[in-house]
């Protein structure tokens, strides 16, 4: 199914310029550039998403022409970084719901303008764990806001609007299985999305704090009892806006510390880097698996067509039947 | 007056690592590095804040040793970019309240740990104008949220907290005067802070939109009647958190388009660049003026001390009385 924006006004526009990612319908051939996108991977920093782009390139055996390297497609916007590796987009979303929200609007329109079909969206992130040690992989089954409501609250024309947060159950379960098959300690559960890292997450080490350690622990224990596994800052908007657009989505975060034990992140850079790679590895495994499935389907279909054709025309140039999606081989 | 964090727990901590800006009390000599900061300038993108750092360096006549250039102090965090030019910090805050909020916590603690005194905070930004043409400079007298409340709403330990947004009247008025003296079309008024760029600001060109053009214009006219001059995405948190910390703050934004006339930003890059420089020029003029005032005060004080001293000791090495803050000269 083609990606669709849910906005009748956009259809009337002569041109749509996606300001924050620096791409437009009048300035770029979006179908040619992005029509083949099947996986949209998002994470906080440009650095991490560039790393993921290079990682997934190796994982799926995607080859650039000699002398070419990946380039940030949105570099002129100075807002987000976007890399494309065949059917995979790797994009930084910055920190917090508003930053992610701008990007979601523009990426959904981008894929709709491009005529992309059935993409799966992933958020690959970092988080604070509730009763989980650093390095644990958390796949979100449900996302709730700081007030424990399973909604993305937004304001439209001055009025509060609450949107349901829905993640894809099938993709979520597969990601848990893949994490376990890679011997990562992995759990599925609820994720809390806050709008502040310090007071918003009950930390004792912000510039402001007028609660006690007992208050903090009481709050974190309440989250624990409600099935919360981790806290981050983008999940509700990610789950609500992908759901509103009708695209499949899942969230995989690594835990950087156990919030029941502390607030400060003091793990060494090397260990942190290894932990941060875990969600990337899990999502890469999902992508590889599904590209292989697609490849097998294409091959089977091509074989069927070839058999059918050969009954009637033995002289046809059957190279036209070969799947063109060569990046699927690995 | 020294900058203070309002958190008794931080005083108990052996070490405070400011994770998102990559600086810490145990890893850096913060008083030596940041004790002299008097102006903290914040804006959206790393690119714009690096430009501002180089611009203010020329404006205040700050000289680096031969062979040296400015370097992003927070480059290892991959989150924010921070440049220091003598008493001026130039820092990118990303997009939206949560991203700004993390930075505010860490910069306030940074300045407190450093022993900095009486800094003035500026947000230098871009915005959509209400009845104002592109290029207009808006200095915020008041900030309100998307529901038109003069508060920064946050959630602490699961409970909603509303904080008052207060900007410094004196700095605000001076910035308006300076803008006018530079022949910019400048206005002071209310600024709306939203958590989304598309539906949150009543745009018709997002991925989702279930209201009509008439609904949109009705909303924008209501803002206009309430004295709103522009819409952006960080002002309430900026005004509330600087106020909570007891530091002076002001917001200067340029208008990129008149929202009563449209939604898409299609002005040429060159014109946009010139517009985006206007808030930077206004804040640079403020900084120059106040450094000159400080310089004159220091000189007068030094002269008084010299006169007093010379009555008693004609042989003292009076070079110790020379103001050391050489960057004030320009």
> What residue ranges define each of the domains in chain A, with the CATH number in brackets?
1-118 (3.40.50.1580), 123-233+241-287 (3.40.50.1580)
| Cβ atoms < 10 Å from Cβ of B127 | 28
Pairs of residues, one from chain A and one from chain B, whose beta carbons lie less than 8 Å apart: 230
pTM of this structure: 0.91
How far apart CA A258 and CA B148 sit, in angstroms, is 38
Residue pair B143/B165 in contact by the 8 Å Cβ criterion: yes
What is the β-pairing status of strands A248-258 and A137-145?
A: antiparallel
Q: Is B75 helix (H, G, I), strand (E, B) or coil?
A: helix
Q: How far is CA A293 from CA A172, A270, A273, in A?
A: 18, 35, 30
Task: Report the run of H or E that residue B210 belongs to, with start and end.
Answer: none
Q: Is B157 helix (H, G, I), strand (E, B) or coil?
A: coil
- A8-30 pLDDT tens trace: 999 999 999 999 999 999 999 99
- A273-290 pLDDT tens trace: 999 999 999 999 999 999
Yes or no, beta carbons of B155 and A148 under 8 Å apart: no
What is the β-pairing status of strands B120-129 and B248-258?
A: parallel
Q: Which of residues 72-131 of A touch B (CB under 8 A)?
A: 78-79, 94-99, 101-102, 104-106, 108-109, 112
Task: Report the run of H or E that residue A15 belongs to, with start and end.
Answer: none
- A141-167 pLDDT tens trace: 999 999 999 999 999 999 999 999 999
Residue A328 has pLDDT above 60, yes or no: no
- A96-148 pLDDT tens trace: 999 999 999 999 999 999 999 999 999 999 999 999 999 999 999 999 999 99
How far apart CA B196 and CA B155 sit, in angstroms, is 18
Min Cα separation A293/chain B (Å): 31
- A192-251 pLDDT tens trace: 999 999 999 999 999 999 999 999 999 999 999 999 999 999 999 999 999 999 999 999
Residues A37-65, mean pLDDT to the nearest whole number? 97
How far apart CA B258 and CA B321 sit, in angstroms, is 53
Among chain B residues, the shortest Cα distance to A265 is held by B19
- Please list the pLDDT of chain B residue by residue as tens digits (330 residues): 999 999 999 999 999 999 999 999 999 999 999 999 999 999 999 999 999 999 999 999 999 999 999 999 999 999 999 999 999 999 999 999 999 999 999 999 999 999 999 999 999 999 999 999 999 999 999 999 999 999 999 999 999 999 999 999 999 999 999 999 999 999 999 999 999 999 999 999 999 999 999 999 999 999 999 999 999 999 999 999 999 999 999 999 999 999 999 998 878 889 999 999 999 999 999 999 999 877 887 888 888 877 765 544 443 333 333 333 333 333
Counting beta carbons within 10 angstroms of the beta carbon of residue B180, is it exposed (0 to 12), middle (13 to 18) or buried (19 or more)? middle
Counting beta carbons within 10 angstroms of the beta carbon of residue A116, is it exposed (0 to 12), middle (13 to 18) or buried (19 or more)? buried
Q: Residue holding tokens 């983008």?
A: A234
Buried b (16+ CB within 10 A) or exposed e, A263-283: bbeeeeeeebeebbbbbbbbb
How far apart CA A302 and CA A141 sit, in angstroms, is 37
Yes or no, beta carbons of A78 and B47 under 8 Å apart: yes
| Residue from A98, A134, A147, A199 whose CB has the most chain B CBs within 10 Å, to mutate | A98
Among chain A residues, the shortest Cα distance to B11 is held by A205
Determine contact: A10 vs chain B, CB below 8 A: yes
- Measured in residues, chain A has a length of 330
What is the rounded average pLDDT for all residues in chain A?
A: 92
């Amino acid at each position: 199914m083609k990606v669709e924006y849910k906005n009748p006004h956009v259809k009337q526009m002569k041109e749509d310029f996606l300001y924050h990612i620096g791409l437009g319908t009048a300035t770029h051939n979006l179908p040619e550039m992005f029509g083949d996108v099947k996986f949209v991977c998002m994470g906080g920093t440009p650095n991490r998403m560039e790393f993921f782009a290079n990682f997934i390139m190796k994982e799926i055996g995607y080859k650039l022409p000699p002398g070419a390297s990946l380039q940030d497609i949105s570099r002129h916007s100075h807002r987000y970084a976007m890399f494309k590796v065949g059917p995979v987009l790797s994009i930084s979303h910055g920190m917090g719901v508003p930053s992610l929200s701008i990007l979601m609007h523009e990426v959904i329109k981008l894929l709709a303008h491009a005529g992309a079909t059935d993409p799966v969206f992933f958020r690959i992130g970092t988080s604070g764990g509730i009763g989980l040690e650093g390095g644990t992989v958390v796949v979100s089954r449900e996302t709730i806001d700081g007030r424990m409501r399973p909604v993305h609250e937004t304001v439209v024309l001055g009025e509060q609007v609450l949107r349901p947060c829905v993640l894809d159950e099938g993709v979520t379960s597969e990601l848990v299985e893949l994490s376990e098959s890679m011997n990562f300690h992995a759990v599925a559960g609820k994720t809390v999305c806050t709008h502040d890292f310090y007071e918003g997450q009950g930390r004792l080490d912000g510039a402001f704090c007028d609660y006690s350690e007992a208050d903090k622990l009481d709050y974190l224990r309440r989250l624990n009892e409600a099935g919360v596994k981790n806290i981050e800052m983008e999940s509700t908007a990610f789950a609500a806006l992908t759901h509103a657009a009708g695209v499949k989505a899942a969230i995989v975060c690594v835990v950087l510390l156990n919030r029941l034990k502390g607030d400060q992140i003091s793990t060494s850079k090397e260990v942190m880097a290894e932990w941060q790679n875990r969600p990337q590895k899990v999502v890469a495994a999902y992508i590889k698996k599904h590209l292989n499935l697609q490849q097998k389907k294409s091959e089977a279909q091509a074989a069927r067509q070839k058999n059918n054709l050969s009954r009637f025309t033995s002289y046809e140039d059957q190279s036209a039947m070969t799947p063109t999606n060569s990046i699927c081989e690995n």
